Amino acid sequence: MRSVRSLAAHPNAVIGLVVLVVLALASLIGPLISPHDPERLALDRAFRGPSASHWLGTDELGRDLLTRLMAGGRISLLIGIGAVGLGLLSGGTIGLISGYAGGMVDLVIQRVNDAMFAFSSLLLALALVAILGPGVTNVIISVGIATIPVFIRLGRAQAMVIRNQPFVQTAELMGVGRPRILSRHVLRNALTPLVVQSTVVLGSAILAAAGLGFLGLGVQEPQAEWGAMLGAARQFIFADSRLILVPGVAIFLAVVAFNLLGDGLRDALDPRLTVK
Amino acid sequence: MLGATSTVGQHPTDPVDPVLSVRDLSTTLRTGQGDVHAVRGVSFDLAPGEVLGVVGESGAGKSMLLLSIAGLAPASIVRSIEGAALLGGRDLLRLTPRQRQRVLGHELTMIFQDPGTTLNPLMAVGDQIAEVITNHAAVPRRQLWARVIRLLDTVGIPAAARRVDDYPHQLSGGMRQRVGIAIAIANEPKVILADEPTTALDVTIQAQILDVLAEARARTGAATILVTHDLGVIAEVADRVLVMYGGRVQESASVGTLFEDPRHPYSLALMSCQPRLHGDEPARSIPGSPPNVTEAVVGCVFAPRCSRRMSMCLEIEPELEPVEPGHPVACHAVNADLAGERTDVAAR
Amino acid sequence: MSLQLAVDRDTIDRVAAAERSRARRQRQLATARWAASFIGRRLAVSLLSIWIVTLGIFGLVRVLGGDVARTSAGPDASPAQVEAARIRLGLDRSLPEQYVDFVSGIVTGDLGESYRTGTPVWDEITARLPATLKLAVAATAFGSLVGLVLGGIAAVKRGTWVDSVVSFIGIAGISIPVFWLGLMLISLLAVTYNVFPVTGDDEPLSIVLPALTVSVFPIGLVTRMTRASLLDTLGSDYARTARSKGTSRPAVIVRHCLRNAAIPVVTVIGLQFGALLGGAVLVESVYAWPGLGRYLVGAVETRDIAVVQGLAVVFAVVFIVVNLAVDLLYVAIDPRLRDNR
């Protein structure tokens, strides 16, 4: 496919993809093949540096850092995909309807969305966690709802572009019912760009989830989550900064990878660089 | 007299020095799909005050020809520009940026196609005209603005003094193009390069703009190269015409000759495509599509669409040969016709 | 025979100049009048937005909050205590009545009392708001400035190693977790070099580390947007026209491209303000900065809905004010958005 070829022309995107694949594999398979239990305490082995049996050393409660990192990766991915899925499905649908319908419906939805848009992912998620309480599921719901304003806007933009395409106008003229046009034509064509744009939102969802974890409001102990690991290791900042460095690097790499991938996908699908 | 080819296109009895001399201009662009030879070996002379029309389909390299002469082709896509473009003894293609800055807007100016995007939307039109003046001379404020207002008046903008501080979006497309013309004539240029100046405008406005352009030329005595795909414009304005296809000049003739006696198959096809006001002939189009510019050219670039195609045409690219003085054509079939005529004459 | 009136060219010019001045004065007057009406309209829209937000906050809390009275009274409260809490919080009244209470409270500055401490929410907020605003403004100003410069350099030096480095900074900036960066900065700078204070807001230099940390995100965002936008304008038709007039490349960039490129950048600075405040919340936690962020975190931990609600309203107002400022800035930059015929 031409898009795939032009994707390869963007080394950044490829790097992002590779990093993500590595992270995903490590997160999914790692905990399964690791000899260590990410949640079992072993206080006698706490604060060990990297060694043959513990490649990244142990944390403050003696747990293998690498295994916890991989388990944390799994949770982060789960939260990210869950939240973005929630946002994409609900926000995207509302956005598509708003953009396609136009008129009063569009106006009202836009005004409300503009007001909601002001809040960033983290603040909105914080407020929702306050109401719902901590825990993985609630984090997914909170971060997911927090991404809805973005998806409404993206969906609306897509719908407005597709609405003006000749094939849609033809369908309308032929008398095809609007709900049908929406579900068959608009949705199908909007899906790809929306999914592409989701990659960047995934990055910020992971950041928001990690932020919640850091504050102790997200995933609860003893579950491993990168942000929570950072928050727990905070008091040892001067004693053993490795415990802070490692999970932070993991978050950073994951988000950078998503951003690189998102950038690359966007460039590859954007036919703006053709010579006249 | 069939051998005079060194100053291609110039009438052999015209003794005046050309104001612009282009020799073998070739521009190669780099794209994602390979190198594109947008302009190939174009040569012509431009006499002072002359209007040279350049006509051809989109993608024939017409715009790139002008941009190459002016040195405004985007550096990121240009691989090379070869040949020479002599203006006042200097080769425009070999100027340093500073030298070019002095020529552009002064002796050589351009008018672009889309007045909607060629003016800075955040700047008043008066400021944009003033810029071209102050770039080349230090003019005291009062004189500067008096000159700007007078220029706007010259190009036919009503109530010029009141509109001089307007922004481009407050003017209609026709008026914006007049501003573009004002910018181009502000410093009394020797050569004006006009890239499809009327294409983006309504048909009714087109005529007005052409009139403004004609008056501006009369005032400044500037020679003009007018690129267009509209033969009607050519008929109205041009003195001589270059017919371009696939980046090359295929035929060059005075405007009268081109309309009465076109020789190149492409020129003939273009003429026959013009919708006729009277008669029942249906509108025609040239079969086939414009060449794929990334593929290397073997033989004549028009051959795939040519009704007179011979086997030779697919192998050797025809050179420009004069059919009569001042009327060179690049076509094997036309050459064959000529040879036939010559043998006919010889046989008698 | 025709009568020829030789009119002095100088006179014509002078008349024209006078006409131009007159037209300009008229235009300025019309613009002023339009501006007043524009500001009025935007203010009205802002108030409407605030109203919609209060509706949303109110609805969200009521819908998702479960039994707020029970949360307030505590998990081991007796039914009687829960009932007392319900009455105290006004939850026994009908929904519309509760909403009216809520809104009138906002207007008069009564956002209720904290479920936990009982102190008025409004007082707590006003005590902490300046600190957070200080941090947000410092970070936005610094971040935007650095971002503009970096993005500009990258666009001008496109394709070179400078461009690659700056682009990497851009992506890193928006990907770095602020709380992690804060901790790293603390462990690096405060301990090893002990130059900047790491907790509290006691000394004038205290703001440096927190503001620096928060500014990393806008630096990344503004760098990317400036680079993209400037590249766009550099390749535009009007930039080419300017070159065809003999304008030098630096002059084209400064005179034509910068202002046009600024528009999307201003957009993005406005849009990211929400994310910036989110970052500020986390950073306040890391540096023990006495702002609204820490207050919010505390309230979320104890599920103090009254405080969260009050903070939501305050934040919303702040955002809407920022949006208004951005809209006004647009109109100042881009004459196409004005209607001053």
Q: What is the ipTM of this complex?
A: 0.84
Is some CB atom of chain A closer than 8 A to the CB atom of C319?
Answer: yes
Q: Cβ distance B161 to B149 under 8 Å?
A: yes
* Per-window interface: B 121-160 vs C, CB < 8 A: 121-123, 131-132, 135-136, 142, 145-146, 149-150, 159-160
- How many Cβ atoms sit within 10 Å of the Cβ of residue C160? 12
In this structure, whether the domain defined by C123-339 belongs to CATH 3.40.50.360 is answered with no
Of the candidates A121, A231, A241, which has its C-beta nearest C187's C-beta?
A241
- How many Cβ atoms sit within 10 Å of the Cβ of residue A51? 10
pLDDT digit string (tens) for C195-234?
Answer: 677 677 667 777 888 899 999 999 999 999 999 999 889 9
pLDDT at residue A272 in the model: 45
Assess whether pLDDT exceeds 70 at residue C82: yes
To which H or E segment does residue B175 belong? helix B173-185
Q: Cβ distance C324 to C40 under 8 Å?
A: no
pLDDT at residue B199 in the model: 85
Structure tokens at C88: 């105290």
Domain boundaries, chain C: 68-108, 123-339
Q: What's the pTM?
A: 0.82
Superfamily, domain B20-275+284-347: P-loop containing nucleotide triphosphate hydrolases (3.40.50.300)
pLDDT at residue B89 in the model: 84
Least confident of A195-199, B78-82, B282-286, C170-174: B282-286
Beta bridge partner(s), residue B225: B52, B193
Burial state string for B81-115 with b = 16 or more CB within 10 A and e = fewer than 16: bebebbbeeeebbebeeeebbebbbbbbbbbbbbb
Of the candidates B121, B136, B161, which has its C-beta nearest C16's C-beta?
B161
What is the distance between the alpha carbons of residues B117 and B103, in angstroms, rounded to a whole number? 23
Assess whether pLDDT exceeds 80 at residue A153: yes
User: Which range scores top for mean pLDDT: A89-98, B318-327, C20-29, C154-163?
Assistant: C20-29
Assess whether pLDDT exceeds 70 at residue C193: no
Percent of chain C's residues with pLDDT above 70:
87
Assess whether pLDDT exceeds 70 at residue C192: no
Is some CB atom of chain A closer than 8 A to the CB atom of B32?
Answer: yes
Across the interface, do C186 and A237 touch by the CB < 8 Å criterion? yes
Secondary structure percentages of chain A, helix, strand, coil, to 5 = 75, 0, 25
pLDDT digit string (tens) for B47-88?
Answer: 999 999 999 887 668 889 999 999 998 888 888 899 999 998
User: How does the average pLDDT of chain C come out, rounded?
Assistant: 83
Of the candidates A114, A214, A248, which has its C-beta nearest C184's C-beta?
A248
Structure tokens at B146: 């008096």
Of the candidates C49, C175, C187, which has its C-beta nearest A255's C-beta?
C175
Assess whether pLDDT exceeds 50 at residue A12: yes
Of the candidates C238, C248, C341, which has its C-beta nearest B101's C-beta?
C248
Q: Which residue has better confidence, C290 or C91?
A: C290
Domain boundaries, chain B: 20-275+284-347
Count Cα neighbours of B246 within 13 Å in the Cβ-side half-sphere. Answer: 23
Closest-CA distance of chain A to residue B31, Å: 7
* Per-window interface: C 25-54 vs A, CB < 8 A: 48-50, 52-53
Q: Cβ distance B181 to B189 under 8 Å?
A: no
- How many Cβ atoms sit within 10 Å of the Cβ of residue A33? 8
Residue C133, classified by CB atoms within 10 Å of its CB into exposed (0-12), middle (13-18) or buried (19+), is middle
Residue C163 contacts by C-beta under 8 Å, 6 or more apart in sequence? C154, C157, C227
Among residues A214, A245, A262, A267, the alpha carbon closest in space to that of A19 is found at A262
Best to test chain C binding among B108, B120, B179 (most C CBs inside 10 Å):
B120
Q: In what order do the strands lie in the sheet with B248-254?
A: B108-111, B191-195, B223-228, B51-55, B240-245, B248-254, B327-329, B321-324
Q: Cβ distance A66 to A52 under 8 Å?
A: no
The β-bridge relationship of strands B90-91 and B78-87 is: antiparallel
User: How does the average pLDDT of chain A come out, rounded?
Assistant: 80
Q: Please list the ranges in chain B whose pLDDT falls under 50.
A: 1-10
Residue C310 contacts by C-beta under 8 Å, 6 or more apart in sequence? C111, C112, C121, C122, C125
pLDDT at residue C191 in the model: 64
Q: Cβ distance A8 to A14 under 8 Å?
A: yes
Confidence band, pLDDT 50/70/90 cuts, at residue A3: low
Beta bridge partner(s), residue B20: B46, B87
DSSP C248: -
User: Which range scores top for mean pLDDT: A101-105, B54-58, C248-252?
Assistant: C248-252
* Per-window interface: C 149-168 vs B, CB < 8 A: 158-159
pLDDT at residue A83 in the model: 92
pLDDT digit string (tens) for C279-333?
Answer: 888 999 888 888 888 888 888 887 777 788 888 888 888 888 888 888 888 888 8
pLDDT at residue C270 in the model: 83
pLDDT at residue B283 in the model: 63
H-state helical runs in C90-202: 95-108, 121-156, 161-175, 178-185, 192
Question: Strand ranges (DSSP E) for B47-129?
Answer: 51-55, 78-87, 90-91, 108-111
Q: Cβ distance C50 to A112 under 8 Å?
A: no
Please count the residue pairs, one from chain B and one from chain C, whose beta carbons lie less than 8 angstroms apart: 106
Residue type, C213: T
Q: Cβ distance C46 to C317 under 8 Å?
A: no
Q: Cβ distance A25 to A276 under 8 Å?
A: no
Is some CB atom of chain B closer than 8 A to the CB atom of C242?
Answer: yes
pLDDT at residue C6 in the model: 57
Residue C191 contacts by C-beta under 8 Å, 6 or more apart in sequence? A238
Residue with tokens 């993608």: B59
